[in-house]
Structure 1
Amino acid sequence: MITIAQIALPSSPAPSRAMKEFTRVLEQSALLVEGDTESVSTTEIRTLRYRNQFSWRSICLLAIDTGLGQRMESNYGLPLLAGSADGVARWDKDSDQPVSITPEQPWPGTVIGAAELSIPLKENLDSAYVFLHALPGHEDALAHLWETAQNIFRTEKRSKISSYVDHKFGTDHRAPSSDVSLASTTISDFLISAGFELTQTEICSRLSLPADETVLAPLREAAIAKSGDYRLLSWTGGTPEEYLEDMVEMMTAFEMDMPVAGIVEAEANYSVERLIKSEQMMATLGTTSIITAAQHIPTGHLAGYTQLDFEPGKHSVIQEDTLVLKEHRGNRLGYLIKIDNLERLREQAPERTFIQTWNAGENEWMWGINEQMGFRPHTAVGLWQRKI
C-alpha cells in the first residue's frame, strides 16, 4: 500500500519529520545524477521557503509505504503531515498566522518518494510544474504521486504541465530545439509512459572558484575597451530605490528573451512592489544576492545586470539572471558585468568553491560567454511537458 500525504505549511522555522524526509529524498535523487547535493536546499531553508509563498504556490507531497489511519485532511482531501516541529497548522487564505496548530501524532511507515508541485500565481495561470522523485527500488511511487498531482492541477484549473528532470549526458533523448542529448533516468522513463514529451534541454555547468585570473584578464580588458559609455554599479541585497524601475524593466525583458519551447508561452508581470517583496523574502531565507549592473552614462539608465545567489549551509553559488537590453548589445557588457560580479563574490564569500548555472541548449551566445570564462558542463536538464 502506498499513501500520498501532503505537508502542511509550516508555522515556525523548525523543520518537521516530514520536511526532513522530503529533503532526504531530493538529496538521494541529486546524488544519482549530480554526484553531490549542492543543488538541494537545506531542510531549514526549504521550511522557510515553503512558508513564504508569494508568486508561486508550492505543494509538497510524500509517498509513504503504508496507510496513515485517521488524520487531518488538506483542501485536496489528502492526509496532512506537519510542516514544522510544532504541529499541523491550518491557515485561512492570505493569512499571515495559522488559525490553529494541532500537535502531530507519530506516523508509521517509510517515505519512498516525494513530489513538489509549483503553481505560478502571477503569470501563466493555465500552467504548473511537477518535480517527481522516488527512491531506488520504489519507482512504483511515481504513478501514485503523478495521479495525485493531476487531481490537484485539475482542481486548480491548470492544463499545461511541465517537469524539469536532471540527466547525465547521453544519447537516449534529444529535444527538437538543440543538439544537447540526454541519458535516460527512471523519472524520464516514467514521464514518457505518462504521456510527457521532451521539448527543451539545458546544460548545467560549473565554474571552480577562485576563477582563473589568467583566463578572465584578457576578457575583462577587451570588454573595458568597448564599454566607454558605461559604468558599473554593484549592490548586495535589496535594489537601491533609484534603480527599481530599471530593474523591473530588465527582469521583464529577461523573462521575455529567454529561449522557450513547448506548450508554455513567455509571460512576465513584474512590478516594483513584486521586486521589493521578493527581495525581502530572499533576505528572510538568508539568501545573499550580489548584483552588478551596467549603467548607460548618457541616459543614466541601467543597460544590463547579472545576479549571483548563495544560501547558508552550501559550498555553491547560483548564477541567476544575466541580461543586456537589446539596444545596448554589442558592447561586451555581458562579459564586463559577469567578470566584475565574480570579483564582488570573491570579496564577500571567498569560502565558496564553485558557481553553478543553467543555459538552454539553443542559447549558444550565453553558453559561449560562460565557456570562455571557464564554466564546464556538469550535467543536463530535460524539460518534459504534456497537457491534461
Structure 2
Amino acid sequence: MTELVRQFADDPYRAHVPLGAFDGDALVGIAELEWERDDQARTAYLEMLGVVPERRREGIGSALLERAERIARDAGRPTLVLAADHPADAGSDGDEVLHAPQGDATIPAGDPPARFAVARGYALGQLDRVSVLDAAARADEFRSRLDGLAASARYRVRTWVDHAPDDLLDSLAVAHERMSVDAPSGAIDYELERWDADRVRDDERRTAAMGRTTLTAAAVAPDDTVAGFTVLSLPAGSPAVEQWDTIVLAAHRGHRLGMRLKLENLVLLEATDATRERVYTWNADENEHMLAINIDLGFRPFALESVWQRP
C-alpha cells in the first residue's frame, strides 16, 4: 500500500490516475492510467487493469477501460496502450495463436486478456518475455565471470545504491531519455520521456519513498559520460528483485558492456542484501541481444506480457 500511495503522489513529470470500481464499500476492480506531462505527448498507458476473480464477466473491466479511454482523450492523449500477463506455457498444440509484429513468441487467441483486448478494438503490438534468475549465493560465480570481460576494460564501471554521483547526473539523464525510445517497441507508440538531472533526483526520491532500494551499475566512457547503465529494484519485505532499465547507448555497443553491467550489479546485490533469492526481468521478444545475455546468466522463462494498442 505504501508503494501505491507514494506512486500516486504529486509527480511533476508523469500524471497518474488511479481508478477503482466499487460495489458498496467493496473494491472489485482497479486500473492505473499514466502519461507524460509533456505538451507534445499523445499516448497514455494503462499500467494495470484487474477485476477480482469472482466478479469477472460482469462488465466491470469494460467499464474501467471505457473510463480510462475517456480520461485519456480528455487529457489530449488519444492513443491508449494496455498490457496483460499470460503463463509462459499458455496454450497447447492446435490452439489458435496470436503473433506480435516482431519476435517469435505467441499467446493463445482464446486467453481471456487477449479476447478482452481484441473485442474492444485493440491490436497486439508486442510480446515481452518475463524471465527469472535464481541469484542467491552466486556472487563468487558472477565475480569469476567478470574476470573474463577484459574486452571492455577501457570503460570504467561505477556502482551505487539509491543516489547517483553528482558528476554523472547529466549524462545519466541522457541515457534515461534514450531508454524511453531506443528499446525495441514493436508496433507500440512509446513516446520520448524528457529527462534532466532534476528528474533523476526526483525519481530517486520517489523510489525511496516507496520503500525500495535501488542498485545501479553504470559504464563510464573515456570522456567521463555514461555509456550505459542497469538498475535493480528491491521491493521492501520481499525475497524478489525486479530488473528495471538496462541500456547501452548506440555509440558504445559491441564491448560486452551489457553483460558486464549486469554481472557488476548482481555482485552488488549480494553485498547489499544477501537474503534476496530471485531476479525478475522483462524483455521484448524481439530483443535478441538482451535475451541472449539473460539466458547466458541463467534466466529461465516465467511468463509473457502482451502489449496492446488501438490502431
Task: Give the TM-score normalised by the residue count of structure 1.
Answer: 0.73
- Say whether residues 1:136 and 2:60 are aligned partners: no
CA, structure 1 residues 263+213, in 2 after alignment: closer, same or farther (shift >3 Å)?
Answer: closer
Q: Equivalent residue for 2:112?
A: 186
**Matched AA of 1:48:** R
Contact 1:208 1:353 in 2 (8 A): yes
- 1:205 maps to 2:117: no
Cα drift, residue 124 of structure 1? 6.1
User: After alignment, is 239-248 or 180-189 more displaced?
Assistant: 180-189
- Report the Cα offset of residue 236 of structure 1: 0.9
Deviations 1:177-223 (A, max 9, x none): 11111244323221111111111000001111216468646642331
- By how many angstroms is 1:278 displaced? 1.4
Q: Is the 8 A contact 2:136 2:275 kept in 1?
A: no
Change (3 A) 1:207 1:311: same
Counterpart position of 1:287: 212
Flag the 1:213–1:275 CA change in 2: closer, same or farther, 3 A: closer
CA distance in 1, matches of 2:185, 2:21: 32
Residues 322-346 of structure 1: per-residue CA shift (max 9 Å, x gap): 1222222221111111101111110
Structure 2 gaps of 5+ residues are 92-96
State the one-letter code of the partner of 2:163. Answer: G
1:234 positional shift: 1.0
Structure 2 counterpart of 1:126: 42
Contact 2:41 2:191 in 1 (8 A): no
Distance 2:279 2:14 in 1: 25
Contact 1:215–1:373 (8 Å) recurs in 2: no
Letter in 1 for 2:206: M
* Partner of residue 167 from structure 1, selected from 62, 71, 86: 86
TM-score between the two structures when normalised by the length of structure 2: 0.90
Residues 221-260 of structure 1 mapped to structure 2, 5 A cutoff? 221-223=147-149, 225-260=150-185
Equivalent residue number for residue 33 of structure 1:
none
How many residues are aligned here? 301
Deviations 1:259-314 (A, max 9, x none): 11225154131111111111122222222111111222x42333221111112122
SS at match of 1:255: helix
Query: Do residues 272 (structure 1) and 189 (structure 2) align?
Result: no
Over 3 Å counting, the alpha-carbon distance change for 1:294 and 1:109 in structure 2 is: closer
Over 3 Å counting, the alpha-carbon distance change for 1:215 and 1:376 in structure 2 is farther
**In 2: Cα distance, 1:121 partner to 1:177 partner:** 29
Query: Using a 3 Å threshold, how does the CA distance of structure 1 residues 123 and 181 change in structure 2: closer, same or farther?
Result: farther
Corresponding residue for 1:220? 146
State the alpha-carbon separation in 2 of the partners of residues 236 and 310 from structure 1.
Answer: 11
C-alpha separation in 2, matches of 1:213 and 1:270: 33
- Would the aligned equivalents of 2:142 and 2:266 in 1 still touch at CA under 8 Å? no
- Kindly indicate whether the alpha-carbon contact (under 8 Å) linking 1:45 and 1:285 is maintained by their aligned counterparts in 2: yes
User: Does 2:252 align with 1:328?
Assistant: yes
Distance apart, 1:161 and its partner CA: 0.6
Shift of 1:49: 1.6
> Does residue 1:53 correspond to 2:8, yes or no?
no
Q: Residue type matched to 1:243 in 2?
A: L
Unpaired runs of at least 5, structure 1:
1-42, 66-107
8 Å Cα contact 2:216-2:232 kept in structure 1: yes
SS for the counterpart of 1:222 is coil
Q: Give the root-mean-square deviation of aligned CA atoms.
A: 2.0
- Deviation, 1:128, is 0.8
Q: What amino acid is the match of 2:285? A: G
Q: Does 1:361 align with 2:285?
A: yes
Partner of residue 94, structure 2: none
Write the distance in 2 (CA, Å) between the matches of 1:62 and 1:154: 19
The aligned amino acid for 2:99 is R
Whether the 8 Å contact between 2:243 and 2:281 is mirrored in structure 1 is: yes
